[in-house]
Amino acid sequence: MVGGNAIRGTRVGAGPTGESERGESAPRRRISYWCANGHEARPSFALDAEIPDEWDCPRCGLPGGQDEKNPPAAPRTEPYKTHLAYVKERRSDADGEAILAEALDRLRKRREIL
């Protein structure tokens, strides 16, 4: 046997007995969810599991609900804000002018000393 590998081509958990060794799977039910684009997702849940009200669509990512005629609305995404936009929310133009004048005064005084 030249460079052979005895477990080549098999996977973890695969055995000669197959499913009977792993036990029986729990009874399941499929629930339909529809997104705003009309896509249907049908995940399966155990019979005793709590069913969520919404499920993300695997095709477009929008939230899906169980009512086909009235799917949940797409979440509103906030636009990207720059650092300057956040600063302008905290400070007025007058505050900015005062801070700039103060910094310029300090810079001028430092240059006079040198």
**E runs forming strands in the chain:** 28-30, 33-34, 40-41, 44-46, 54-56, 63-65
Q: In Å, how far are 48, 50, 84, 104 from 65, measured between CA atoms?
A: 20, 15, 39, 58
3-state secondary structure of 26: coil
- Binding region: 35, 39, 57, 60
2: Cβ contacts below 8 Å, ≥ 6 apart:
none
- Binding region for Zn(2+): 35, 39, 57, 60
